[in-house]
């Protein structure tokens, strides 16, 4: 009898232990591995730019040689910046991109202004641009010989954002699968374009690569604007730092994904541009509205239809990556009290930051409505590089002020110094070259964040709590979300 009782107690204890192992803490789970991390970097960096408008870089550089050199230089600069972020990301294991690093080094005001600008402008407008590109190319086969109606493209863009938001709210694994699949698809079309270009060069079509440096740029500002256009295509190199808390073994996978992903994209970009010049003169490339489609019509016919199809895949995958990471920044800012608390809540069923993802989607759909949001993102690009520079500067400052922090990855201090100098150049060059009032408006908007910071964050007046507490409760019940558990 005693033996049977002991056996029953043991069995019951084993069952209880298994149940405890199955119950997860109500926090974002570590479900992103090395392959998914690489795909997030590559898939977010390669959007529509390399397929649609690499002509912007050629237009500013003025010649084939400087154009190719600038694409390579942008890759080197992105790699240097990402190496800085690798040290920061393994030193401060927190999601949210630049936000926790600026918070740790410069304090809450700087971090708040970053989150204010990025959450309200940069992230949702970038998502809107990607979704619009996806909608335009998805609808173009139904309107042969003409441009699809704007309303159709915008409706498809809105559907794209809603669909991706649902996917990201339901499962991190499902979102990672979508990212991996569409990253593989865009790498496939890049391989097709590069191989076709090599074949054309082997046939002797090298005339556009001869005397490649005649007519290069002479203006200080023109080079800065050319870098802007090139770095816009490379933007996304820091995306993995937005999800550091969800990375498996971040000390290994964060720097490894960066070292593999960004050089891969750099090689792809340079090789694709060489392929374009194997069949198009610089003038023809500048006159093309969609360079990859023109290339496909000349080289891949009768299979040229695959190019616009894969452009849709590429923009869709990049939009998914943007949606995924933007939600994490909003979630972290809400958790730190810099956004409303409901944005820091997560689904206890799916372990995803659903309110933050929905908020980003609503802003993205809102930015689809205006006629031209490209000018918006162009004018705010200087702000993005200001924050990149501040983040690199924070790495230098914390070498002296936070000496005790564990640094599994430690880059030579000259690397963040170079990133700071280049960031200052990229912030100032376009303003000096073309001092539009829009830059002033952007600066006023960024600094204007202090108007909301002091009453709602710093002072935290009681009347704001009286308004937000019942609102938060109702939204929590509506979306079935809960505050994250504290695991530290």
What single-letter DSSP state applies at residue 458? I
> For residues 330 and 95, what is the distance between their CA atoms, to the nearest angstrom?
10
Separation of first and last alpha carbons in the chain: 45
Angle between helices 150-170 and 306-335 (to 10 degrees): 50
- For 247, the 3-state DSSP assignment is strand
List pLDDT tens digits, range 30-83: 888 999 999 999 999 988 778 876 877 888 888 888 889 989 999 999 999 999
Neighbours of 185 (CB within 10 A): 18
List pLDDT tens digits, range 198-215: 999 998 888 888 877 776
What residues does each domain of the chain span? Answer: 31-479
For 390, the token pair is: 């501040």
> For residues 486 and 25, what is the distance between their CA atoms, to the nearest angstrom?
9
Cβ-contact 46, 268 below 8 angstroms: yes
pLDDT (tens, 9 = 90+) of the chain, 488 residues, equals 444 444 444 444 454 444 444 456 677 888 889 999 999 999 999 887 788 768 778 888 888 888 899 899 999 999 999 999 999 999 999 999 999 999 999 999 999 999 999 999 889 988 988 898 888 888 888 887 777 888 998 999 999 999 999 999 999 999 999 999 999 999 999 999 999 999 999 988 888 888 777 766 666 667 777 887 788 788 888 999 999 999 999 999 999 999 999 999 999 999 999 999 998 888 888 888 778 888 888 888 888 888 888 889 999 999 999 999 999 999 999 999 899 899 999 989 889 999 999 999 999 999 888 756 566 666 677 788 899 999 999 999 999 998 888 899 999 999 999 999 989 988 887 788 778 777 888 888 999 899 989 888 888 777 777 888 888 899 999 998 999 887 55
- For 12, the 3-state DSSP assignment is helix
Q: Which one of 1.20.1050.10, 3.40.50.10540, 1.20.1740.10, 1.10.3720.10 gives the CATH number of domain 31-479?
A: 1.20.1740.10
Cis, peptide link before residue 240, omega less than 30° from 0:
no
| H helix count then E strand count, the chain | 21, 0
């Amino acid at each position: 009898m005693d033996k049977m009782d002991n056996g029953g107690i043991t069995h019951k204890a084993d069952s209880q232990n298994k149940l405890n192992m199955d119950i997860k803490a109500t926090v974002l789970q570590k479900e992103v591995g090395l392959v998914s991390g690489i795909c997030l970097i590559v898939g977010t960096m390669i959007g529509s730019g390399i397929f649609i408008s690499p002509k912007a870089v050629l237009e500013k550089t003025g010649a084939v040689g400087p154009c190719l050199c600038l694409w390579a230089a942008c890759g080197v600069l992105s790699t240097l910046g990402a190496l800085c972020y690798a040290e920061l990301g393994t030193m401060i294991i927190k999601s949210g991109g630049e936000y926790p690093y600026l918070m740790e080094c410069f304090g809450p005001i700087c971090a708040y202004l970053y989150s204010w600008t990025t959450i309200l402008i940069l992230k949702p407008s970038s998502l809107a641009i990607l979704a619009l590109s996806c909608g335009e190319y998805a609808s173009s086969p139904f309107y042969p010989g003409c441009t699809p109606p704007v309303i159709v493209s915008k409706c498809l863009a809105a559907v794209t954002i809603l669909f991706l938001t649902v996917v990201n709210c339901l499962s991190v694994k499902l979102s990672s699968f979508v990212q991996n699949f569409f990253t593989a698809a865009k790498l496939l079309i890049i391989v097709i374009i590069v191989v076709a270009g090599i074949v054309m060069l082997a046939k002797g079509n090298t005339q556009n690569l001869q005397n490649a440096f005649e007519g290069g740029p002479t203006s200080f500002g023109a080079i800065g604007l050319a870098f802007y256009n090139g770095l816009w295509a490379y933007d996304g190199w820091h995306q993995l730092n937005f999800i550091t808390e969800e990375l498996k073994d971040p000390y290994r996978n964060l720097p490894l994904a960066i070292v593999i992903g960004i050089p891969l994209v750099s090689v792809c970009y340079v090789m694709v541009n060489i392929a374009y010049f194997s069949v198009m003169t610089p003038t023809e490339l500048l006159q093309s509205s969609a360079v990859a489609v023109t290339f496909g019509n000349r080289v891949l016919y009768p299979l040229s239809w695959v190019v616009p199809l894969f452009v849709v895949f590429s923009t869709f995958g990049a939009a998914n990556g943007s949606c995924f990471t933007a939600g994490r920044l909003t979630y972290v800012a809400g958790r730190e009290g810099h956004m409303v608390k409901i944005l820091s809540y997560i689904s206890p069923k799916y372990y995803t930051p659903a309110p933050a993802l929905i908020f980003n989607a609503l802003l993205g759909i809102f930015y689809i409505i205006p006629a031209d949001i490209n000018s918006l993102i162009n004018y705010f690009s200087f702000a993005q590089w200001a924050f990149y520079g501040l983040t690199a500067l924070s790495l230098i400052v914390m070498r002296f002020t936070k000496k005790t922090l564990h640094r599994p990855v430690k880059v030579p201090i000259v690397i963040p110094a170079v990133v700071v100098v280049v960031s200052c150049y990229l912030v100032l060059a376009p303003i000096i070259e073309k001092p539009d009032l829009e830059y002033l408006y952007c600066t006023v908007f960024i600094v204007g964040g202090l108007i909301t910071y002091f009453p709602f964050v710093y002072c935290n007046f009681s009347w704001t709590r009286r308004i937000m507490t019942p609102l938060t409760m109702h939204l929590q019940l509506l979306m079935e979300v809960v505050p994250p558990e504290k695991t530290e």
